[in-house]
Structure 1
Amino acid sequence: MVNFDMDGEALVKVGQFIPKAETGHDFVINEEAIVWTWTYAEIPCATCSESCGPGFRQTPLDGQPICCFNCSLCPEWEISNKMNMKHCMKCPEDEYPNKEKNQCVPKVVTFLDVSEPLGMAPICVALSCSLMTSLVLCVFVKFQDTPMVKANNRALSYTLLISLTFCFLCSLLFIGHSTAITCLLRQTIFVIVFTVAMSSILAKTTTVVLAFRLTTLGSRGRMWVQSRVSSSVVIICSGIQVILCGVWLGISPPYPDRDAYSEPGQIIIGCNEGSVIAFYSVLGYMGFLALGSFTLAFLARNLPDTFNEAKFITFSMLVFCSVWVSFLPTYQSTKGKAMVTVEIFSILASSAGLLSCIFIPKCYMILLRPDRNTHEGIKNKVISSGRNHSGSLPHHSYQRHNQF
């Protein structure tokens, strides 16, 4: 409609809609035929709000017409890639929104890789410590007939050193892309070899306590310090852990898992522990053995120093328990590669603590103080130690040395 000065008006055709025409040609407007009044200098807006661009959505205003809205930024993990979208779309699991939230981009698959420094450092430490443990084992085998090695139960020392070597090496299973096999092996091997180590330490402390408190020459108590008893302690304690691991693997074993939500922009490849109760049960049993070893070693700490390694075991158990007590809350509060790194660090630190506290002092005596690693040197130390503590020689102290 066009208005004239003489209060006249006329209808003017400015366009048409052709339903049967092709898309894009069905609605035709002749803009030159349109005449606006002096009130409008340009085409009036058909809505009362500005258009919402990509990354935003239309939010209706209460009490306002449907054409009135606010533009709201899309929520987390959602995007909008068109103008004036009423709802945002969620990105697929393997993608995440970009900063503008107008398109989804692929997530980066990540895991503790061998090629990165965070993965290379534990490998170097594990290999170095396992090599050092093997050297200590060679020293004990070479000097197996010396009093220092005999006095501390050679079989248990060999078992403990071999298990510590595997403790260092089992940390390598936690590095790299997780598979079904590595997820099954890494936790079970770790808890079993650590249980063998804890059982060996428990057997050593039990032997020391029984040898000095329950036995006298010719008594029936001597049978409790024989090698069969210490071997039985290791076998029984380790067997219980094997049964627990078997139940764990039978009920709900660990399996590979993809965590797409812990870290933005990343898909973390790792292992799900399966049954959380079973996982913490095997850890709790290992902690129970450590607590038992610490208690016995603490009770035997004041026995004669020459044959007694209870002080060294006490310090090693303090280190072991400190590492794993701090591990639990830290493990729960970390995510992704940091969680795996924390567990690897705990394995290496606790194993190194056992090796350092128990065997390094013995290697020092064997290699650097050979004069004190003889029957005559030990006998003189026993006499000196006994007189310093009680004014007389401890009864049967030197003879008990040969029982180990």
Structure 2
Amino acid sequence: MLYISVVNNGILYVSFDVSGFRQALTMAFTIDEINRNSNLLPNVTLGYRLYDNCLQLGIGFRAALSLASGQEEQVILHKTCVGTPPVLGIVGDSSSTRSIAISTVLGLYRVPMVSYFATCSCLSDRQKFPSFFRTIPSDAFQILKHFGWTWAGLLISDNDYGFHAASSFQSDLGPSGGGCLAYTEILPWGDNPAEFRRIVDVMKKSTARVVIVFAYQSDMINLMKEVGLEIQLDYTSEAWTSATVLQTPHLMPYLDGTLGIAIRRGEMPGLRDFLLQIRPDLHHNSYGNNFWEYAFQCRFAPPPAGWVEAGGALCTGQEDLESVETEFLDVSNLRPEYNVYKAVYALAYALDNMLQCEPGRGPFSGHSCGNLQRLEPWQLVYYLDKVNFTTSFGDQMSFDENGDVLPIYDIMNWQWLPDGRTETKSSGTLNPKRSLLTFQTIIWPMHYSSSPPQSVCSESCPPGTRMARKKGEPECCFDCIPCSEGKITNKTGGCPEDFWSSPQRDHCVPKKTEFLSYSESLGICLAATSLLGTFICAVVLGIFIYHRQTPIVRANNSELSFQLLLSLKLCFLCSLLFIGRPRLWTCQLRHAAFGISFVLCVSCILVKTMVVLAVFKASKPGGEASLKWFGAMQQRGTVFVLTCIQAAICTAWIISSSPAPHKNTQYHNDKIVYECVVGSTVGFAVLLGYIGLLAILSFLLAFLARNLPDSFNEAKLITFSMLIFCAVWVAFVPAYISSPGKYADAVEAFAILASSFGLLVALFGPKCYIILLRPERNTKKAIMGRGIES
């Protein structure tokens, strides 16, 4: 026979605990049911030893130590089994405080302890309590969240259970969970009117309309003796959710409407019949640890006449118990008893799983299995961790990694009926792990009408405002102040990256976008100017082609003039790439097109300048040889090489650190400025520097040739055009750096257009003037001579 020991509440001094007695008998009934089950633990008989802790920590602690150490009394069963049967596990204790103390010691030996009523969340610490399990969920605060009660008072008993309840509130519903405590009061032991009156005054003065109670019934009865609390709504723990001792006409005016969590009710067919068979032998009424042992030795013995039975009625032994309505025989609301039932079955299934282990395939060292001859407590703990079965009531039973059972509660509502009776009614269910909370009809206190009360320190802030903590007060107490720009009233307080707060600060709206657009006046003007310049270039090119045989066109190197006009057209057109929403290809192409077009243009001017100097030098005696270096092929080749260098610079820049579109929010918080970042500042500087180098070189050469003895001196025009070109781009650099967003693009496009128009007007304006308006000067004699007046 194996023992399942139960540490139980029983007799305190000379009073008899009927509920504790019934829970002990439930354990006996469960073991009897298991022993009669041929499919569970065949060839193994379970027994039990009961210890009454008398509601004293010391007594319960000594009982647990005697079980763990194997020092309990030896027994003789049927004269064939002598000795101390192995202790399979301990079912108990019912108190969190005693469970903490007992399981701390039992954990050292890894003796499994399965409590059916200890709800302190601290017992879920697997490091401190490695062999503790329980079939009752820990207390939960989800009801407060459901009704939005963020401001509550807390009443606790002066023990571990109360202190850990307060700690659990802070971790589950503290500032991070949106809940705050208006006050925390520790109920004193015994009758202390002055302290209770002080606590009542604190509760009355508080604005909290919800009181959370984790206290013993006796403490609450003493509190309720003081002046009534007409404004409070209580939320209670399992310990006294269904306590009938508090449901009296004197106390119900203060407790009407109380909500509480109750452990799940279950049904155990056959339990009432089992209880009807009990006939305790009270001859050995020593009120000590051996009471239960004596009581169960003679289960079916008739009670002696004159003794007081459970329930407090004088019995003669002739009464028919089936016709007597007592608390002992009431099996309509089995809650703690159902947990005892599951606790015993958990131990039985764990043992059954261990005995089914195949040798050589076990979970322990060397793939060994546990056995009854050398049963180690830690081996059973291993199987308890993995136990999984379904009760006869249809509930799934298993433990999680902390030794806790799946938390399912019944929500109980204390109701004061019109006829004066009181009733504790199940009004919903709670399954925290599945986030399931369902409510049926709840009767609130009369002064709350039919709607639930509100219990908050400060009302929720209206849209467009935010919470501002009140100095020196809990986080749930706050003032509402207007949200700052970019902030709205929501969980995060801010808007996403591409959004901004509305003027009312109550929702987010997309940020305005800004870039140099074709739809705005600045973009339209730049685009129109670009197209105008392109058109003028085409007209000038047409004029030059039409008059290509005239002296003024032929004298100024017509081929280079045509190339220069084509490159100017490209310069005008590339300014269009700076208008419109920046994209990757436009960011890359705008700078490459700009750099190559202008190098092509300036290269043509540089070659023209060099040709002018070569012709002048060739006109002097012995200078004919210089012309062979500036033939048509050499001119084309020079322009091509100089342009290819710029193309190589652009390619290296794009490959190494390409320009790319960028959403800039630094200029305006409520606006997204789309712009092209240059990627590599060095690459951009080299591109501009190369153009500037060619322009300065052209300017210097043209300046040296400005006084050549021709009536129409090309060098003067080049000098003037390069002066305009350099002035524009020197002014561009500081303007570009200081211009934000789209204005930087506008500055660069303007610089392109201004320098292009400067080159076009300076180089081709005088020539077109002669061709179109002064054709008499478009002769070789007029160009080469000095006597013709303009």
Residues 1:146 and 2:550 are matched in the alignment: yes
Aligned to 1:90, what secondary structure does the other structure show?
coil
Aligned to 2:586, what secondary structure does the other structure show?
helix
Which letter maps to 1:140?
Answer: F
Contact 1:167 1:351 in 2 (8 A): yes
Q: Which residue pairs with 2:489 in the alignment?
A: 80
Residues 1:207 and 2:611 are matched in the alignment: yes
Aligned to 2:582, what secondary structure does the other structure show?
coil
Aligned to 1:256, what secondary structure does the other structure show?
strand
Of 638, 651, 663, the match for 1:246: 651
Contact 2:588 2:659 in 1 (8 A): yes
Contact 1:208 1:310 in 2 (8 A): yes
Q: Which residue pairs with 2:703 in the alignment?
A: 298
Contact 2:782 2:788 in 1 (8 A): no
For 2:616 and 2:576, locate their aligned partners in 1 and report how far apart those are by CA, in whole Å: 41
Uncovered stretches (5+) of structure 1, i.e. residues with no partner? 34-44, 386-404
Q: Which residue pairs with 2:782 in the alignment?
A: 377
- The structure that has the greater radius of gyration is 2
For 1:211 and 1:58, locate their aligned partners in 2 and report how far apart those are by CA, in whole Å: 84
Number of corresponding residues: 364
Structure with the higher strand share, 1 or 2: 2
Q: CA deviation at 1:76?
A: 4.5
Residues 1:273 and 2:689 are matched in the alignment: no
Of 434, 440, 447, the match for 1:31: 447
Residues 1:105 and 2:509 are matched in the alignment: yes
Contact 2:498 2:672 in 1 (8 A): yes
Aligned to 2:754, what secondary structure does the other structure show?
helix
Which letter maps to 2:524?
Answer: M
Which letter maps to 1:212?
Answer: F
Deviations 1:269-291 (A, max 9, x none): 44333222212221221122112
Q: CA deviation at 1:133?
A: 0.8
Contact 2:710 2:784 in 1 (8 A): no
For 1:377 and 1:104, locate their aligned partners in 2 and report how far apart those are by CA, in whole Å: 74
For 1:236 and 1:379, locate their aligned partners in 2 and report how far apart those are by CA, in whole Å: 33
Contact 2:518 2:580 in 1 (8 A): yes
Contact 1:196 1:234 in 2 (8 A): yes
For 1:24 and 1:208, locate their aligned partners in 2 and report how far apart those are by CA, in whole Å: 103
Pairs within 5 Å for 1:145-294: 145-213=549-617, 216-219=620-623, 220-294=625-699
Deviations 1:112-156 (A, max 9, x none): 333443333222222221111111112222222322122222121
Q: CA deviation at 1:17?
A: 3.3
Of 765, 773, 782, the match for 1:360: 765
For 1:121 and 1:290, locate their aligned partners in 2 and report how far apart those are by CA, in whole Å: 28
Of 222, 246, 258, the match for 1:16: 258
For 2:444 and 2:751, locate their aligned partners in 1 and report how far apart those are by CA, in whole Å: 75
Contact 2:657 2:679 in 1 (8 A): yes
Residues 154 and 18 of structure 1, relative CA distance in 2, 3 Å threshold: same
Deviations 1:143-175 (A, max 9, x none): 223221222221211110110011111222233
Contact 2:563 2:604 in 1 (8 A): yes
Structure with the higher helix share, 1 or 2: 1
Residues 9 and 197 of structure 1, relative CA distance in 2, 3 Å threshold: closer
Q: Which residue pairs with 2:532 in the alignment?
A: 128
Q: CA deviation at 1:265?
A: 3.6
For 2:751 and 2:551, locate their aligned partners in 1 and report how far apart those are by CA, in whole Å: 34
Bigger shift: 20-29 or 260-269?
20-29
Contact 1:57 1:73 in 2 (8 A): yes
Contact 1:196 1:238 in 2 (8 A): yes
Contact 2:712 2:784 in 1 (8 A): no
Bigger shift: 122-131 or 19-28?
19-28
Aligned to 2:652, what secondary structure does the other structure show?
helix
For 2:441 and 2:741, locate their aligned partners in 1 and report how far apart those are by CA, in whole Å: 56
Residues 1:347 and 2:589 are matched in the alignment: no
Bigger shift: 103-112 or 92-101?
103-112
Q: CA deviation at 1:297?
A: 1.9
Q: CA deviation at 1:266?
A: 3.4
Residues 260 and 309 of structure 1, relative CA distance in 2, 3 Å threshold: same
Aligned to 1:78, what secondary structure does the other structure show?
coil
Residues 272 and 326 of structure 1, relative CA distance in 2, 3 Å threshold: same
Contact 1:18 1:26 in 2 (8 A): no
* TM-score (structure 1 length as normaliser): 0.78
Contact 2:498 2:511 in 1 (8 A): yes
Which letter maps to 1:112?
Answer: L
For 2:456 and 2:644, locate their aligned partners in 1 and report how far apart those are by CA, in whole Å: 80
Contact 2:702 2:715 in 1 (8 A): yes
Uncovered stretches (5+) of structure 2, i.e. residues with no partner? 1-199, 205-225, 230-252, 262-410, 412-427, 429-437, 450-454
Q: CA deviation at 1:66?
A: 5.2
For 1:218 and 1:160, locate their aligned partners in 2 and report how far apart those are by CA, in whole Å: 31
Contact 1:215 1:221 in 2 (8 A): no
Higher relative contact order (CA 8 A, sep 6+): 1
Deviations 1:220-262 (A, max 9, x none): 2233443344333312211110110111122122233333554
For 1:64 and 1:333, locate their aligned partners in 2 and report how far apart those are by CA, in whole Å: 49
Residues 18 and 329 of structure 1, relative CA distance in 2, 3 Å threshold: farther
Identity percentage over the alignment?
A: 42
Q: CA deviation at 1:67?
A: 6.2
Q: Which residue pairs with 1:314 in the alignment?
A: 719
* TM-score (structure 2 length as normaliser): 0.42
Aligned to 1:289, what secondary structure does the other structure show?
helix
Contact 1:215 1:222 in 2 (8 A): no
Deviations 1:278-336 (A, max 9, x none): 12221221122112222222222222342422222222222222222222222223333
